[in-house]
A and B are shown apart, each in its own frame.
Chain A
Amino acid sequence: EVQLVESGGVVVQPGGSLRLSCAASGFTLDDYTMHWVRQPPGKSLEWVSLITRYGSSTYYADSVKGRFIISRDNSKNSLHLQMNSLTTEDTALYYCARDAGFGSSWYGYMDVWGKGTTVSVSS
């Protein structure tokens, strides 16, 4: 079964740091570009970042650029999001999602989603 399981979400103070992880199973991670998407409580979805198959290219939303770093370890079937200088605006459910494109190209829409991990930034 194709599955993504996020972890690492906790309550953190403003200015703090956090590292989210996503464990992939049921497919070969390095065949796919991967995304992080977040959803603040009661709000819509916001694309956060993507990383290509071998990590050679990364893209970020302006709201997180310079503060968040996406990475992956294909040998461990895992995706990560290092989150620094957190603010209350970063409070959200963070989803790991697989790009629907296979191989060397990616499309930008997501066909497999994890259940998410909750990050709460509060003093």
Chain B
Amino acid sequence: DIVMTQSPDSLAVSLGERATINCKSSQSVLYSSKNKNYLAWYQQKSGQPPKLLIFWASTRESGVPDRFSGSGSGTDFTLTISSLQAEDVAVYYCQQYYFTPYTFGQGTKLEIK
């Protein structure tokens, strides 16, 4: 199974500042022939189901604010929130869908400093 490891486990950032969350996979999730990274990011607010933010490592889901961006390739990925808003308080998860079993990171809890 591919193990997904996020860092940090928790993060406190001031409003308007940048938040960066990292995700590392135990093996590459880059499908070379398609030049696609099989990596998604989700946001889960308290008491709510996960919400898809980013797929193919860097493609923003429709309706997601452009302050959210994804980057990286192979085994190392980053979710960046360029200017933190109060409504961004949540737990963020990365997920690989390169092959089953699909696996998620342990989550990163983002709070306001």
By beta carbon, the residue of chain B nearest A59 is: B100
Residues in B whose Cβ lies below 8 Å from that of A50? 100
- In the assembled complex, the Cα of A47 lies from the Cα of B97 at a distance in Å of 10
Assuming the contacts A44-B93, A108-B97, asked whether A113 and B51 have C-beta atoms less than 8 A apart, the reply is yes
Question: How far apart are the CA atoms of A116 and B47 in the complex, in Å?
Answer: 10
Contacts known (A108-B38, A108-B97, A111-B61); A44 close to B49, Cβ less than 8 A = no
| Tally of chain A residues near chain B (CB < 8 A) | 20
Question: How many of chain B's residues have a CB under 8 angstroms from any CB in A?
Answer: 23
In the complex, chain A residues whose CB is within 8 Å of the CB of B49: 95, 113-116
| B69 CB, nearest partner CB in chain A, Å | 17
Chain B contact residues: helix, strand, loop or mixed: loop
Residues of A within 8 A of B (CB): 44-47, 50, 59-62, 95, 100, 107-111, 113-116
State the total of A-B contacts with C-beta under 8 angstroms: 54
Q: Contacts A62-B101, A109-B97, A114-B49 hold; do A44 and B40 have CB atoms under 8 A apart? A: no
Chain A CB within 8 A of B70 CB? no
Contact between chains at B55 and A44 (CB < 8 Å): no
Most-contacted residue by chain B among A44, A59, A113, A114 (CB, 10 A): A44
Contact B40 A109 (CB under 8 A): yes
The reply to whether A109 and B101 form a contact with Cβ atoms under 8 Å apart is no
B100 to chain A, nearest CB (A): 5
Does B95 belong to the interface (CB within 8 Å)? yes
| A19 CB → nearest B CB, Å | 21
**CB nearest to A96 among chain B residues:** B49
Q: Is B50's CB within 8 Å of the partner chain A?
A: yes
